[in-house]
Amino acid sequence: MSRRVTSQDVADLAGVSRTTVSFVLNNVHRFSIRPETADKVRLAAKELGYYPNASAKALASNQTKNVGLILTRSPEYIAADPFLPQILSGTLDVVKQHSLSLLVEWVEPGEQLETYLELTRAHHIDGMILMTPRTDDTGIRALEEADIPVVVMGYIPDCTLHSVDVDNFSAARTAVEHLVSLGHRQIACITNAALPYTSAAQRLSGYRQALEDGGIPYDPALVREGDFEGKSGYSQMKTLLESGKKFSAAFVASDAVALGAYTAIREAGLIIPDDISIVGFDDLPLSSLITPSLTTVRMPAREIAQASCFLLMRLMKWELPENRMVSLPTELIIRESTRKLED
């Protein structure tokens, strides 16, 4: 009969003390343990097939069967977000498969730390998914040290949390390269959101890289900041048109924002794509139905939500994924809103 694996066996394989093994496998964060050390312990435990019985009983008895989805935006933006139904649908699919419930919480910028601490310390949830992260999020460090698994739906630089996202930089670069390939040299940009949102900063960087690759000087006067909603696309496109700066195309880094830009262009008596070509980002269901249909980057929203949930389920079982970040592919969908610029 084989000998039962003990925490000392895990400690020996990982090259750490039994105390460290206990802290890591029981999610004790009173003491700082480096992420790479914690990873070694979890990997050793998995390799040996070790699961602490006492901790397993405690974990089972304290489970809430709830998973939290945290939206880092104010209620008015959430209510108007056409992207959110796909996220909720994908999340609920996986949550229900695991017989769990989904709790949705919103938090406004500047209030993250208090909200995260309340959620993690009150033990209302067994795991958390954070959607639409910001680089100025004051609560990220608290989540890195939390007693529950956390997955970020997006990207945060220099963060140890597991995450699921797309390559926003490359996708935006591809979108703008399409405009350059059609002969456009004066290309405006309206971001999807304020630049503290990581997706906005990455998409703007992709826009700038495509210009540089095409030998086109970057002109900050052709860049405006969107704010998730169509009305920001309308107002920012209007300021661009009234600025006197000439441009024959625009990369609008959100389909919702692009819909507002459409209205501003039409009110100015201009025609898409005859006068201005437009490329969006997200491929919302409405984007193929508007006139002209919108050339855009297809964002696998539902798949991102599902992948985030599956990753969280693994972390909740103490499984150690090979990579901290999962990146899903995007696709440029060429429709009627872009055309080749006539010589």
The model's pLDDT over 100-151, given as tens digits with 9 standing for 90+, comes to 999 888 887 777 777 777 776 666 788 899 998 888 887 888 888 777 789 9
DSSP assigned state of 5? P
Band (57; pLDDT cuts 50, 70, 90)? very low
Domains, the chain, ordered by start: 7-59 (1.10.260.40), 64-166+301-328 (3.40.50.2300), 168-299 (3.40.50.2300)
User: Is the predicted pLDDT of residue 231 greater than 70, yes or no?
Assistant: yes
Beta strands in the chain (DSSP E): 66-71, 101-106, 127-131, 150-153, 162-166, 187-190, 223-224, 249-252, 277-282, 295-298, 325-328, 331-333
What lies within 8 Å, CB to CB, of 229 at 6+ separation is 77, 80, 256, 257, 260
State the Cα–Cα distance between residues 31 and 225, nearest whole angstrom. Answer: 42
With beta carbons less than 8 A apart as the criterion, state whether 64 and 82 touch.
no
State the Cα–Cα distance between residues 38 and 21, nearest whole angstrom. Answer: 8
pLDDT, tens only, 308-337: 999 999 888 877 777 889 999 999 999 999
% residues pLDDT > 70 (the chain): 90
| 110 bridge partner residues | none
Asked whether the whole model's pTM tops 0.95, one would answer: no
Q: Which helix (H) or strand (E) holds 223?
A: strand 223-224
Both tokens of 268, joined, read 């100015």
pLDDT at position 26: 67
